Amino acid sequence: MVIYRNGQPIGLTNEECRKIYEELDKEYKREDIRGQLEVREIKLDVTDELILDVEHALGNNDGYWESYWCSIEYAIEEYMKKRGKLNGKVRENL
């Protein structure tokens, strides 16, 4: 993958992209947890252990993954409808 910084191309390996994704994902989860703590008025440090617990809970949540995959299927269907490529074939063939 190539990204541009200050107009200069920077090549990244798949491993570097994966590491960047993991770091960003961890920071997004940290912010989501902080937001929930603020809403609930709970004073608690957001530790790596807490983030791992959240990741574990998400990984074990079948409803989360079902919603995730249904959302992807829906987006594909809508995309195909917009381009007239669905031809009446819905979920059975996705």
If asked whether residues 46 and 66 sit together in one domain, one would say no
pTM of the full structure: 0.65
Number of structural domains (the chain) is 2
If asked whether residues 10 and 56 sit together in one domain, one would say yes
State the Cα angle at 64 between 58 and 66, rounded to 5°: 140
pLDDT of residue 89: 57
- pLDDT block averages, 10 residues each, the chain of length 94: 93 95 95 94 94 91 91 92 70 52
pLDDT of residue 83: 85
Cα→Cα distances 2→10, 11, 38, Å: 5, 4, 38
If asked whether residues 53 and 78 sit together in one domain, one would say no
CA pair distance 78, 70, nearest whole angstrom:
12
pLDDT of residue 59: 86
If asked whether residues 56 and 26 sit together in one domain, one would say yes
Do the beta carbons of residue 13 and residue 30 sit within 8 Å?
Answer: no
